[in-house]
Amino acid sequence: MGGFNKCKKKFAALFLCFVVVLGIVGCGPKKAQTDTPSAAGEKEGKTNNTQPAKEEKVSLDVWHLWTIENDGNAVSFNRALEQYQAEHPNVTINIDATENEAYKTKIKTAISANEAPDVFFTWGAGFAKPFVDAGQVAKITDYLDEAALKNLQMASANNFMYDGALYGLPYSSWVGVLYCNEEMFNEAGVKIPETYDELMTAIEVFNGKGIVPITVGAKDAWNAMFFQNIASIRTAGTELSTQALMKEASYDQQAFADGAQMVLDLVEADAFDPSCLAFSYDEAKIALLNGECPMMYQGSWLAAEIQNEEISLVKDKVVAVNFPALEGSAYNNQFLGGAIEGLVVSEKCEHKKVAAEFVAYITEAMAKESFLQGSGIPVWDIDAGDASVDPLVQQIVDLAYGSDGYVVAWDTFLSGADVTTHLSLVQDLFAQAKTADEFVKGMQALNE
């Protein structure tokens, strides 16, 4: 197990990588042109008059999506919140947590009705862009001094930059990896896959033993989408994928059709449970945590739950590997992931400065706690003292350190109705209701 000092060195290199990559994948300007917080405030004549008197009681309504108590992000948030509340007894935080898929609808509805809470979780890039365009999100640097952001890796916040201004703060980056139950692989006498051919061999072996090879909850389309997204990375690469997502390149070309065909081939090979379109993400991950299914392709946040013996039967039995390499591909060391999750302040919040300082405090504290929990790679400079790094987390950090590129999940890069169309097309692949050509033509319709 690597020590934290080793990790800090790797983070430095990793963040340099994110600086390069996120400059490509962000929906905002490719190069941040933000004013310093104080300068931005002075330029617009801001007086921060939403700052209450020191002893004034303030109440903030906060929405997020961490509904499961043992979820790594939930643990991280709650620990950060406890610290904040101990240091800010005059601020009352009213939490409203909603499950992931329902949350997406709930926050969009609230924004449309001009009823956004004071502080809320959101994905950056295309997901939050309509909120910013509608004037519903406060420019957070108007309400923070430079000291509040001194530890933020600013380039990692690029997905929260719009028109050169910073509107939200991320807490960590995530990386998509293939989790493999090493014990189940050993018992089956099959190699943990490094190549796509080895993956297909493992699928055949586990099917022969009556074991579903890969668990996925395709009812929640986003985690089915992960397979199409990483397949397209293998066949088209992050640069072309990003160009298509930005409507600067066509999806209707062989590279994206090949990616869609990879998903169809996995379905045809019975890689997934035939009823996976009826399973949610939470239901699907139980099969991995219970040791019933040997593989799951998911974000780095799942490591915390895998290593939590209170909810997992596979602690220390799972390894994290890159999604298998495709023969002849130049993109085998590229990943799905990035710093896309964060908190923002509503423009209609009465106490924006208190809310912005709350967001800065929580996201920085979450960066540390998420790392220690194994649920994320921090995008703030953190001091974890003598804390050790979980070996599964260390594997993911090592993979991220050596990567050649990233692209964020497509449902967070796209915006509005494009997201629904994309997710529906992916579910059609899982249902074998669309061919690869029909999939790419459906995606290209978004760009025309």
What is the pLDDT of the chain when averaged over all its residues? 87
Q: For residue 77, what pLDDT is reported?
A: 95
Reported as a single tens digit per residue, the pLDDT across 57-92 is: 999 999 999 998 777 789 899 999 999 999 999 999
- Residue 53 has a pLDDT of 59
Residue 16 has pLDDT above 50, yes or no: no
pLDDT of 140 over the 60 cut: yes
| pLDDT number for residue 375 | 75
177-187 average pLDDT score: 98
Query: Region 237-256: what's the mean pLDDT?
Result: 95
Beta-ladder partners of 335 = 406
Q: For the residues 314-322, what does the mean pLDDT come to?
A: 97
Mean pLDDT of 245-272: 97
More confident residue, 14 or 197: 197
pLDDT tens digits for range 400-446: 877 888 899 999 888 889 999 999 999 999 999 999 999 999 999 99
Cite the beta strand spans of 346-417 per DSSP E. Answer: 377-378, 405-407
The Cα–Cα gap between 426 and 219 comes to 11
b (16+ CB within 10 A) / e for 418-446: bbeebbebbbbbbeeebebeebbebbbeb
Q: How confident is the model at residue 55 (pLDDT cuts 50, 70, 90)?
A: low
Start-to-end C-alpha separation, the chain: 50
| Mean pLDDT on 276-295 | 97
Region 16-38 average pLDDT: 35
User: pLDDT band at residue 385, thresholds of 50, 70 and 90?
Assistant: confident
| Helices within 214-276 (DSSP H only) | 221-245, 254-268
Q: What is the pLDDT of residue 158?
A: 86
Residues 327 and 235: their CA atoms lie apart, in Å, by 10
CA 319 from centre of chain:
20
Residue 40 has pLDDT above 60, yes or no: no
% of the chain exceeding 90 in pLDDT: 71
Q: Look at residue 35 in the predicted model and tell me its pLDDT.
A: 38
pLDDT at 38 over 70: no
